[in-house]
Amino acid sequence: MLNLIMQTAPVAQQPNLLISLAPFLLIGLIFYFLLIRPQNKRMKEHRAMLGAVTRGDTVVTNGGLIGKVVKVADNELTVDLGGGTKVKVVQTMISDVRGKTKPANDTAKK
């Protein structure tokens, strides 16, 4: 009797590998297009903005200080906050460039 029941019982089929991985692939694509890709685009734009900072630009630091760029060095900016206060700021700590002026002619000989 047990042999007859075992013979008529349906055999469980193995699920298709692609079907079982499809939800994970879909979640990965959603993460890429909604989170990773926009963040990379923002980072690229921020790097381009930092590379274009020149003397005379009005900048905002991550700390909320607003000032005018007096000197641009390798990775540091000297920013005049007004009232004779000048501070050195690491270039990556600039969050926004508000007043973009035309480039200063720093290489001209006097």
Q: Copy the structure tokens of residue 92.
A: 């990556």
Q: What is the pLDDT of residues 89-110, one digit of tens each?
A: 999 999 999 877 665 566 655 5
How much is the average pLDDT of 27-39?
Answer: 95
- Among candidate residues 101, 70, 103, 102, the one with its CA nearest the CA of residue 84: 70
Percent of the chain with pLDDT over 70: 79
Distance CA 72, CA 52 (A): 11
Q: Copy the structure tokens of residue 106.
A: 């720093």
Distance CA 18, CA 39 (A): 29
CATH of domain 54-102: 2.30.30
Any idea where the domains of the chain sit in the sequence? 18-51, 54-102
What single-letter amino acid sits at 25? L
